[in-house]
Structure 1
Amino acid sequence: MKTSLMVVCTLLALLLAEEQVKVEAVTCSPAQLSSCVSAITSSTPPSKLCCSKIKEQKPCLCQYLKNPNLQKLINTPNARKVASTCGTPFPKC
């Protein structure tokens, strides 16, 4: 009984180790969001590339919002709609 419990615990530990999420540092680059410009400036739906870039750049969005040049583009109703459509909540900074 103790042997089977040890085997189960070992297997569980191995499974959990495989499920660990690798955290990679994001390089903040507003140019990465260039695929979203048409969706933000018009009523065009965001592309899959746009959505993946928004998700990738999510940790940087507050930094972008603090930049007066980027804020004009990012802090708009359309940008909020694009973020929502992509399943990325707009940040509260």
Structure 2
Amino acid sequence: MKMLKLALYIVLIINSLLSAKAKTDCNPIQLIPCATAILSSSAPSEACCVKIKEQRPCLCKYIKNPRLQKFINTPNAKKVIKNCGTSFPTC
């Protein structure tokens, strides 16, 4: 009985962690730390890279938005994403 309770507890913990991770707040304002790097082709800051990695699941959504795609789907933005150690999404 104790093993069953322990297994159930572990499943609940894993489920809550996965749910929390899956819920990315897709808010392009979160990428403000990257604005300078994207617009001027300078090196991204650590804060920018943290936000790029957090917002990566949202990038396709941003690319499909006509107002945002001109900032996200650019050579500089692709360079920033790559310099932050992640890959540009294939949408």
TM-score (normalised: structure 2) = 0.78
Query: Which stretches of structure 1, 4 residues or more, deviate above 4 A after TM superposition?
Result: none
List runs of 5+ in structure 1 lacking aligned partners.
Answer: 1-13
Q: Specify the structure having the higher radius of gyration (Cα).
A: 1
TM-score (normalised: structure 1) = 0.76
* Mapping 1:1-93, distance limit 5 Å: 22-23=17-18, 24=20, 25-93=23-91
What is the DSSP-based 3-state SS (H/G/I as helix, E as strand, rest coil) of the residue aligned with 1:89? coil
**1:34 partner amino acid:** I
Bigger proportion of residues as helix: 2
1:64 & 1:31 partners in 2: Cα distance? Answer: 11
Aligned residues: 78
> What fraction of aligned residue pairs are identical, expressed as a percent?
57
1:43 & 1:60 partners in 2: Cα distance? Answer: 22
